[in-house]
Chain A
């Protein structure tokens, strides 16, 4: 560890300047926009913009959809990736092919995958063929509220792999003697899972749910690929709202929406941090 070195400023300079210039200073400066009315006088209006935006149906719809979609995607990726990592862990030290093929989509541009998605989720596509073969009726996947299914699946397809390898690394880091000792003491599978595996991976599990949640807020991408710039109401996200307001140069609404969302996000993650701390305390 270097102390009292002037050269630290050299290393901090490019990144620090950039962060200041592009994020921190304008972030604070932007508060001004959210508190003024945007007219030529730019009068101070206090919290009026915030009150107005919560009455704006499109903002509320976008926020609701973004929250709902991220609450579907993040836990789905979380649970699936843990299950897959556990399966892979059983094949140790083999199973590299499976691990590598799960990771592949993470590097793939999901934009290019859209074509295949449109084909398989078509009304006459493979998914509906499977559905009718199993005795269900066909579903119109690419319109209306069912649009969420291909959108979520495209997200899961792409993002599963990275979470799997993080989980797998955590599972492999648990020392094997712990299990051997537990078995000597007569602990069964469930006792081992709840007594050793789960407590050991709590920090990792927490990291993954956070990372996936941040990622899932960006689900606008998948919505845009499949639903276009003006998608169905069921997948109209906050980003759609922001783009519309931004297109109209309505900076008051853009900043107000962003800061409202930021408050919600910080409240959520703050609650998650506290939960994790409590959980770790109880487990140890």
Chain B
């Protein structure tokens, strides 16, 4: 993380030196302090990242408030949209965990909408994508990981260790399988965090590069990268949905794995 931030800092410092338009695709991932705050020596400044997280949470609340303001038997457009999201997350939990998973439905719904709104709001020019920060996605992923381990230990006690030794395996293979299983178990939060972070970073970087080409090339040639950028924006909206869906479904899968050990 630190290496990435130093890389981004050196990139922007380098870019500031020259006045001509310069390719700086990582500039808009830089976290800047807006209101510097500190609490007992901890840096709790409001940055552009945390500001946009607050905006997306406010947008989610506003969206559901607006949608359910005039609750109707026959839902309007906004209400059916909200109901679609709600039913989507409910079916996700129902299909992947079953009836026992109903108490984790609020978590999955909140995670889905938080990631989705952050991804989509990040596409507005001039905004900031909070999910393109490894620290944000890492916090979410580690939370999910701790929850799934907690459920497993609370349900199965020491028996939870059997996750690392799948049943029906010959004893001779155990020394080989247990390290592999442990590594793959520990890789879960890493891949959950890195997937979302890298998807958002990569997508926005490609968009930035395309827009840079559009600006610097002569008009007749700049049309080509511009059309690419338009198509990629559509792809990014789709990816934003897919990544939110995958984050939510993998949360369900991990909780299910901890509940009903295979």
A and B bind: no
